[in-house]
Structure 1
Amino acid sequence: MGAPVAGRVIVVGSINRDIVARVGRLPSPGETVPGWDLEFLPGGKGANQAVAAARAGGRVCFVGAVGADEAGVQNVTMLRAEGIDTREIRVVDGVPSGTAVIFVADTGENEIVIIGGANTHVTGAAVREALQRINVTHQDVILTNFEIPDDAVDAAVEYGGAARCRLIVNPAPARPLTTALWNGRAILTPNRVESLVLTGLDDVHAAARSLTEQTRAPVVVTLGSDGALLADIDGDTHIAARQVPVVDTTGAGDVFVGVLAAEVAADVPLRSAVRRAVVAASLSVSRPGARAAPSLAELDAAMTAGEPDTPRR
């Protein structure tokens, strides 16, 4: 069973409406391909991660922004329905809610275009004020991502550092890390490509080791169907993914990060937390949509013996 929650997961991140088009294959540059379905779904890295954390048993608070439009109202309503505290989600007048346009191929692979909208109005000052009202403690986990501006991410990391709480930063979409992030001792959770972009290296093990040596904190690189790589003071550990039929990979990384945050907030050892997050992400790709995170009961049932971790020294 999932461990009892000791602290909250406080997500400082993005909220989007996803416009999802299903296609036989992803288009090449300049190419038009036929689609066979169109859906309007809730999304955004921050919101997806918050939902995954809540379903995994976390107590979740959200700091972010939406537009004064139908998409904003629907998104906040859906987050509340998941048991998430939405009191620190601001409504920004005159700005549309964030939007993601997503193409999903029959293979489950995807291409995504993000229009930031209200997410670009999440400011450092607003984040600091919200976290003060939330009354962050050392038991909490602050989780943030790169679909909001740098000053908002920095504010979350710096405030969390001062409060001595645990920090998780999902550096996606990848962009150079700020001084606050290099010094913040946050757990970084890039995917394979993002780890290479952040370091300029061409090997994922070398990239993970470089990041953890520079940040002096653990790094978890998500590897899609290959699971995840945990780099920390003890070395590198590969945690294999469960092999499942792939329906849609959209949001699998967000499921991983959200479940990881819930486990860290529950004081679960990091290696065990990564293993549980890998299983949750594996379950999510067998279902359509960016919010395919399993429930706590489903995740507990799926936590059976799997492939052993592979340490590297």
Structure 2
Amino acid sequence: MRITVVGSINLDYVATCASLPRAGETVTGATLARHPGGKGANQALAARKLGADVCMIGRVGDDEMALPATALLEAYGVELGGVVTDADAPTGVALISVDAHGENQITVAAGANHNVMPEQLPARIETPLIVQLELPIETVEAAVGRATEFVCVNLAPAAPVSDAMLRRADLIVVNETEAAFYGDALHHGGGRVVVTKGARGAAMYLRGVEMAWATPPQISAVDAVGAGDAFVGAITVALLEGMEPQDALEFACAAGAVACTRAGAQSSLASRDEVEALLDA
């Protein structure tokens, strides 16, 4: 299985603290860590660790953050020939706060990600494709329009997109907030729609009718950063492997659960053996 991911590449700075600050509040006593991230890169690595061959298309800056931002992608064998170094913009950065229960707040400075233009894409994308919305929308829509195989669209963060892209997607993945943003438009096409609901699980729909529902295994959550991206990579791999909707949802929920048990986005992503062990527990 070969998958192309067109998406963001970031370096995450994660402050772990007892509680998340309210507006105007300062919270002290945090510990700071740095991890590679970005929704595109996270989903690429998630799919790779679950057994797919993955090609990443994106952009980083010509700076000291580019190497650590792509280090795990390279270490696990994600193909990076489609990643361009941008001389005019820095590598994207995410500033993340995580509380003692694993909940998080995220602020993203997109940097070079906002310079990924349609001209950087191949004329045709002849493998299954995963996209998200952390790149310019015109680029995401161009990628979907050039795809000839299975297309997974993770509508995160929520933003206006064309009805044509929603209809073209074979799989749409959203959380509850994103589902509310798009409303019934999610269900106008012929593809499947998955709505994730955190610790309560996820549901799969076809033309608005629920096909399957799964809940994640019980775990002790440390950090939910990257769990959604783990889910996207896993549900795509599962469906491409031909799993039935119920089995695919359970597989993806388990991948997301594993990601919650460790700190960081990419450093928390599960291997195939870990997902299957959790399912068998």
TM bucket normalised to smaller: over 0.9
Residues 1:123 and 2:117 aligned together:
yes
Residues 1:179 and 2:142 aligned together:
no
Q: Structure 1 residue runs of 4+, over 4 Å off?
A: none
Residue 283 of structure 1: how far off its partner (Å): 1.5
CA contact (8 A) 2:166 2:186 kept: no
**Counterpart code for 1:190:** V
- Residue 15 of structure 2 aligns to a residue whose secondary structure is strand
Alignment of 1:100-119 (within 5 A): 100-119=94-113
**Counterpart code for 1:185:** A
Residue 281 of structure 1: how far off its partner (Å): 0.6
Seen in structure 2, the aligned counterparts of structure 1 residues 212 and 193 have a Cα distance that, compared at 3 Å, is closer
Seen in structure 2, the aligned counterparts of structure 1 residues 154 and 255 have a Cα distance that, compared at 3 Å, is same
Question: Aligned to 2:31, which of 25, 31, 37?
Answer: 37
Partner of 1:232: 206
- Residue 230 of structure 1 aligns to a residue whose secondary structure is strand
In structure 2, distance between residues paired with 1:150 and 1:280: 28
Residues 1:301 and 2:280 aligned together:
no
Partner of 1:150: 137
Deviation string for 1:119-155 (max 9, x for gaps)?
00111121234xx4xxx43xx3200000001111101
- Residue 55 of structure 2 aligns to a residue whose secondary structure is strand
- Residue correspondences, number: 279
Structure 2 stretches lacking a partner, 5+ long: none
In structure 1, distance between residues paired with 2:36 and 2:134: 15
In structure 1, distance between residues paired with 2:79 and 2:245: 25
CA contact (8 A) 2:46 2:234 kept: yes
Range 270-279 or range 177-186, more displaced:
177-186
**Counterpart code for 1:293:** L
Seen in structure 2, the aligned counterparts of structure 1 residues 255 and 231 have a Cα distance that, compared at 3 Å, is same
Q: Please, what TM-score do these two structures have when normalized by structure 2?
A: 0.94
In structure 1, distance between residues paired with 2:52 and 2:42: 13
Residue 216 of structure 1: how far off its partner (Å): 2.4
Structure 1 stretches lacking a partner, 5+ long: 1-6, 200-209, 306-313
In structure 2, distance between residues paired with 1:252 and 1:182: 23
Residue 218 of structure 1: how far off its partner (Å): 0.8
- Residue 112 of structure 1 aligns to a residue whose secondary structure is strand
Residue 83 of structure 1: how far off its partner (Å): 1.2
Partner of 1:15: 9
Q: Please, what TM-score do these two structures have when normalized by structure 1?
A: 0.85
Residue 234 of structure 1: how far off its partner (Å): 8.8
Question: Aligned to 1:281, which of 256, 263, 266?
Answer: 256
CA contact (8 A) 1:157 1:180 kept: no
Residue 228 of structure 1: how far off its partner (Å): 0.4
Question: Aligned to 2:176, which of 192, 197, 206?
Answer: 192
Question: Aligned to 2:237, which of 259, 262, 267?
Answer: 262
Residues 1:69 and 2:63 aligned together:
yes
- Computed over aligned residues only, the root mean square deviation of the Cα atoms, in angstroms, reads 1.6
Aligned sequence identity (%): 34
